[in-house]
């Protein structure tokens, strides 16, 4: 048995439990001073304070009195894509909106063209580099969506790349099928045919290969209507894919209401979520997965996170890493924005980027907190306490990242 002892922890900060925390509970985390964590064969065997017990023969990692938290969970990324879209920066600076760029053939369609022409190996090498960088910033679990293939062959290609990366990279990857990211150019005049393709050809193939856990849809003006989104998510359920939904990102067309009605595991973005949308999320037990770095990049307002916490909606936070609306893969920036823009407390933010993120991707029984029985995924921060990582902006403070008990 391989034993690893993380000793001399100045502050251990972690939410607790195997499910999302909401309301006041979101801010109630455990803080242990002078703590240690014992990991056996990649799984946390004991957590304590004072002198470590049961650690004979363990390899010791000295935390040097610093802050330790669970590894961060990035519960929303569009990891697999060809090319980048730096050309859109100039357009944005001249006032073009996200939907204007998309409607002019830029945006998701241009990344789709680049993704279709990329080989599996090219996509894998590119995503691998991003995963290395994410891990260097303290992320140890990542959700990754398809959605830049928009044709059966290319959606499957993206999901296969995610599966391969999960096999060969230390990062845990959870795959989401998002064939309904945009109606691609060749179906512009027959969107119904595209919705059928997603439901009747792509989904059965995804199911047959067993390569995705969730189904997501971009429910937005000029993208997929609420009714199309409902059909797509209901079809996904038939194929064993739990629903997720991009809702109220740019216009509030009813995506959050649909999330509540359909019992989605999470609704994402929610930048302009109206009060009735928040009620629907609360009633449906839906996790709000908020993406503040996207608001930042779009120059948009920030989601009403405090209202969500007040209404008892569990709030998770993630990057939304993608080549368009959010070319940022750094969860530490998300942490900063969670405090500075959402006005969440450091404790609420920590829960959002660990346990609640894990719950949003069905992983809360394995990751998201430092507790006996969970995976040994930890970050030793170059920081004395939790406030410090929330307040420092622009530096990488992830000192040592530990995945399943091994330093990565
Ligand atoms: O979550 N909104 C839809 N999808 C991404 C953006 C994708 C892109 O711009 O390429 C998002 O913001
Ligand atoms: Fe997204």
The total of other beta-carbon atoms located within 10 Å of residue 396's CB is 13
Angle at 77 (CA atoms; ends 12, 67), nearest 5 degrees: 10
Distance of CA 258 to the CA centre of its chain: 20
* Region at 399 (left for phi over 0; alpha for psi -120 to 50; beta for the rest): alpha
- The DSSP secondary-structure symbol of 375 reads B
CA–CA dist 277, 309 (Å, integer): 13
- Tell me the residue ranges of DSSP E strands in 273-366: 287-290, 315-317
At 139 the pLDDT is 99
At 302 the pLDDT is 98
Q: How many angstroms does the Cα of residue 372 sit away from the middle of ligand 1?
A: 37
Mutate to test the pocket of ligand 1, among 158, 181, 290 (most ligand atoms within 8 A of CB): 181
At 346 the pLDDT is 98
Q: How many angstroms does the Cα of residue 134 sit away from the middle of ligand 1?
A: 19
pLDDT less than 50: residues of the chain: none
At 105 the pLDDT is 82
Q: How many angstroms does the Cα of residue 8 sit away from the middle of ligand 2?
A: 39
**Three-state DSSP state, 14:** strand
| 171, 403 Cβ separation under 8 angstroms | yes
Distance of CA 378 to the CA centre of its chain: 17
For CA atoms 236, 241, 247, 250, give the dihedral sign: negative
CA–CA dist 159, 147 (Å, integer): 9
Please name the residue whose Cα sits nearest to atom 12 of ligand 1.
325
- Ligand index nearest the alpha carbon of residue 92: 1
Per-residue tokens: 295: 């608001």
Q: Give the phi and the psi of residue 135 in degrees, each rounded to 5.
A: -65, -35
Please name the residue whose Cα sits nearest to atom 8 of ligand 1.
324
- Ligand index nearest the alpha carbon of residue 289: 2
Please name the residue whose Cα sits nearest to atom 5 of ligand 1.
325
At 102 the pLDDT is 86
């Amino acid at each position: 048995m391989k034993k690893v002892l993380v000793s001399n922890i100045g502050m251990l900060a972690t939410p607790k439990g195997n499910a999302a925390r909401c309301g006041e509970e979101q801010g109630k985390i455990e803080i242990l001073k002078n703590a240690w964590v014992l990991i056996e064969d990649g799984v946390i065997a004991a957590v304590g304070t004072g002198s470590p017990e049961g650690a004979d023969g363990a390899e010791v990692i000295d935390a040097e009195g610093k802050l330790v938290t669970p590894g961060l969970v990035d519960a929303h990324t569009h990891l697999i894509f060809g090319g980048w879209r730096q050309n859109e920066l100039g357009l944005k600076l001249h006032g073009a909106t996200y939907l204007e760029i998309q409607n002019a053939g830029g945006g998701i369609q241009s990344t789709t063209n680049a993704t279709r022409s990329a080989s599996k190996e090219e996509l894998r090498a590119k995503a691998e580099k991003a995963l290395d960088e994410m891990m260097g910033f303290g992320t140890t679990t990542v959700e990754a969506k398809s959605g830049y293939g928009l044709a059966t062959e290319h959606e499957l290609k993206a999901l296969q790349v995610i599966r391969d990366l999960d096999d060969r990279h230390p990062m845990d990857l959870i795959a989401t099928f998002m064939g309904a990211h945009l109606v691609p150019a060749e179906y512009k005049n027959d969107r119904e045919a595209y919705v059928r393709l997603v439901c009747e050809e792509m989904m059965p193939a995804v199911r047959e290969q067993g390569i995705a856990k969730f189904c997501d849809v971009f429910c937005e003006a000029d993208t997929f209507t609420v009714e199309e989104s409902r059909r797509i998510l209901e079809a996904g359920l038939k194929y064993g894919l739990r629903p997720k939904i991009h809702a109220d990102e740019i216009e509030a067309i009813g995506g959050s209401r649909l999330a509540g009605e359909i019992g989605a595991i999470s609704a994402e973005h929610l930048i302009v979520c109206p009060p009735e949308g928040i009620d629907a999320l609360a009633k449906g037990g839906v996790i709000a997965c908020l993406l503040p770095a996207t608001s930042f990049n779009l120059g948009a307002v920030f989601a009403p996170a405090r209202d969500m916490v007040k209404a008892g909606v569990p709030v998770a936070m993630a990057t939304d890493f993608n080549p368009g609306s959010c070319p940022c893969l750094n969860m530490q920036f998300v942490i900063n924005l969670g405090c500075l823009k959402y006005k969440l407390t450091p404790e609420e933010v920590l829960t959002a980027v660990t346990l609640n993120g894990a719950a949003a991707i069905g992983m809360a029984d394995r990751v998201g907190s430092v507790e006996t029985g969970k995976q040994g995924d930890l970050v030793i921060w170059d920081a004395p306490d939790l406030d410090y990582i929330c307040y420092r902006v622009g530096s990488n403070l992830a000192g040592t990242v530990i995945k399943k008990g091994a330093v990565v």
